[in-house]
Amino acid sequence: MGAHETIAAMLEPAGITLNGSNPWDIRVIDDRFYARVFAEGTLGLGESYMDGWWECDQIDEMIARGLRADAAKRLPINANLIFLLASSWLTNRQNKSKAWQVADVHYDLGNDLFEATFDSRVTGSCGYWSGNPPAKNLDESQDAKLDLICRKIGVKKGQSVFDIGCGWGAFMGFAAEKYGAEVHGVTVSKEQVAYIKKRYANLPVHPELKDYRDATGTYDHVVSMGMFEHVGPKNYRTYFKTAHRLLKDDGLFLLHTIGSPYSTNSIDPWLDKYIFPNGVLPSLAQVGSAIEWLFVVEDLHNFGADYDKTLVAWNDKFESNWQALKGRYDERFRRMWRYYLLACAGGFRARAIQLWQFVLSKKGIPGGYMTVR
């Protein structure tokens, strides 16, 4: 069976037809697509889309269907995947020297890009659409998420909070504005630090360009949103020891992270190359092992389905702002960014990946933790 027939057979159980009429079907523009995907798997699929070799009206639904049907498992193991798996096992791809790579590839691309994609606070993690009342738009979903975090850890006026991987300061600004907290944080992105210092100059918000392992001080609470995916299994224990050291004995630590239903040491090769170099999604087993003798799990909340909505909303906003961006970013970048957002949306829609919020304490809350939703 040739590459064309193999890929057609691979997609058939997912209800995806090559050159079919459904919006989730793949329309092949360049016949080199077949050999490339056969030889390179998901990396070839993503790169061939960036190069304009195929189109699809609903990439998110195509990916969701493919994941639910385990379509990619029908392709042979390729050299790119073998190299990624081997390097993940044999080296620490998230050590201090390599931890800065994700800023170079992703977070320092340009604040204009992220402002054109994310909500008005530039919150680079999942919104909370399923609260009570449900959020009606992107800004509402992110404010609801930030407020949920503050309520889960019980932030009070005058308290100090540390944000591990503070992004563009959305939580820092929200907690300072709405709850009267003083917030410190670290990030490996110089663009994020510059953005925070300019936007929140009049608030008690203090970002530092620093690896999380070098953070100092003790705080009433610690939070971390969308950063743990960059830590890597070889460093999970160090990460939680750092959070434990930063947290006062009676404080709470909220960890907000994308999660995997199985333990692994790497992410999809296309995402690793183009979006999140050295990224890894943790499993519950890996988190559980890493927090032993350090933390008590007070609460675990899964709202991964909300990330599907968030990513679709991000893509809609990005496409609506493209005319203002295209002077700085070319068409191949546009296709890369679209593929990233919609492919990830498909992953959450298929429930192949999750979004977890853990509330952790050092020694357990006397009398028990009151669950917040």
Q: What is the DSSP string of 49-107?
A: HHTTSEE-S-HHHHHHHHHHTTGGGGSPP-HHHHHHHHHHHHS-TTSTTTTTHHIIIII
Measured N-to-C along each axis, helices 331-349 and 59-68 cross at an angle, to the nearest 10 degrees, of 40
For residue 281 the two structure tokens come to 């999604």
Rg (Cα) of the chain, in Å, rounded? 21
Strands 296-302 and 354-361, bridge-based pairing: antiparallel
344 is catalytic: yes
Beta bridge partners of residue 356, listed in sequence order: 257, 302
What is the DSSP secondary structure assignment for residue 263, as one 8-state letter?
A: -
CB 17 within 8 A of CB 73: no
Q: How many CB atoms lie within 10 A of CB 93?
A: 23
Give the whole-angstrom CA distance, residue 99 versus residue 165. Answer: 12
State the Cα torsion 140-261-276-199 to the nearest 10°: 20
**Residue 319, exposed/middle/buried by CB under 10 A (0-12, 13-18, 19+)?**
middle
Burial (Cβ within 10 Å: 0-12, 13-18, ≥19) of residue 227: buried
Query: How many other C-beta atoms lie within 10 A of the C-beta of residue 370?
Result: 10
| Placement of tokens 């949920």 in the chain | 148
Tokens 């830590």 sit on residue: 231
Phi/psi for 310 (5° steps) reads -65, -45
Of 56, 126, 150, 344, the catalytic one is: 344
Active site residues: 344
